[in-house]
Amino acid sequence: MNIERDLIISILKLTKSGPISFEVVSKDAKLPLSITKNLLKKLQNNGLIYLRNKVIDANSLKRLKLAVHAVQLGADLERVSSFLDWKEFENIAAVAFERNGYTVNKNLRFRHAGRRWEVDIVGCKKPIVVCADCKHWHHGMYPSAIRRIVEEQVERTSALAKSLPELADKIECASWGRVELVPAVLSLVTARFKFYNNVPIVPVLQLQDFLSQLPAYVDSLKHFSKKT
**CATH code at position 67:** 1.10.10.10
Identify the domain containing residue 103 by its residue range: 87-227
Residue 228, pLDDT score: 67
Answer yes or no: do 61 and 121 share one domain: no
Give the separation between CA 25 and CA 12, rounded to whole angstroms.
Answer: 10
Answer yes or no: do 126 and 214 share one domain: yes
The burial class, CB within 10 Å (0-12 / 13-18 / 19+), for 107 is exposed
CATH number of the domain residue 115 falls in:
3.40.1350
Give the separation between CA 22 and CA 38, rounded to whole angstroms.
Answer: 11
Answer yes or no: do 132 and 187 share one domain: yes
Answer yes or no: do 211 and 110 share one domain: yes
Answer yes or no: do 96 and 77 share one domain: no
Q: Provide the pLDDT confidence category of residue 137 given band limits of 50, 70 and 90.
A: low
Q: Are strands 128-134 and 103-112 parallel, antiparallel or unpaired?
A: unpaired
Give the count of domains, the chain: 2
Express each pLDDT in 48-66 by its tens digit: 999 988 899 988 888 888 9
- Whole-angstrom CA distances from 208 to 30, 46, 55, 101, 204 are 37, 20, 30, 11, 8
Give the separation between CA 69 and CA 203, rounded to whole angstroms.
Answer: 13
Q: Are strands 128-134 and 115-125 parallel, antiparallel or unpaired?
A: antiparallel
Answer yes or no: do 139 and 78 share one domain: no
Q: Last residue of a domain, which of 34, 63, 84? A: 84
- Whole-angstrom CA distances from 50 to 2, 6, 54, 175 are 22, 18, 10, 43
Express each pLDDT in 38-49 by its tens digit: 999 999 999 999
Give 3-state DSSP helix, strand, coil % of the chain, rounded to 5. Answer: 45, 25, 30
Average pLDDT over residues 197-210: 89
The alpha carbons of the chain give a radius of gyration, in whole angstroms, of: 20
* Stronger pLDDT, 95 or 150, i.e. the higher one: 150
Q: Provide the pLDDT confidence category of residue 191 given band limits of 50, 70 and 90.
A: low
- Whole-angstrom CA distances from 41 to 68, 85, 210 are 18, 25, 32
Residue 146, pLDDT score: 82
Q: Last residue of a domain, which of 69, 84, 99? A: 84
Answer yes or no: do 154 and 55 share one domain: no
Answer yes or no: do 184 and 155 share one domain: yes
- Return the half-sphere exposure (C-beta side, CA atoms, 13 A cut-off) of residue 178: 3
Q: Last residue of a domain, which of 23, 53, 84? A: 84
Evaluate if pTM is beyond 0.85.
no
Name the 3-class secondary structure at 117: strand
Residue 92, pLDDT score: 79
Express each pLDDT in 140-156 by its tens digit: 566 777 889 999 999 99
Answer yes or no: do 104 and 125 share one domain: yes
Angle (CA) 92 55 93, round 5° = 0
Answer yes or no: do 66 and 163 share one domain: no
Answer yes or no: do 46 and 105 share one domain: no
Q: Provide the pLDDT confidence category of residue 164 given band limits of 50, 70 and 90.
A: confident
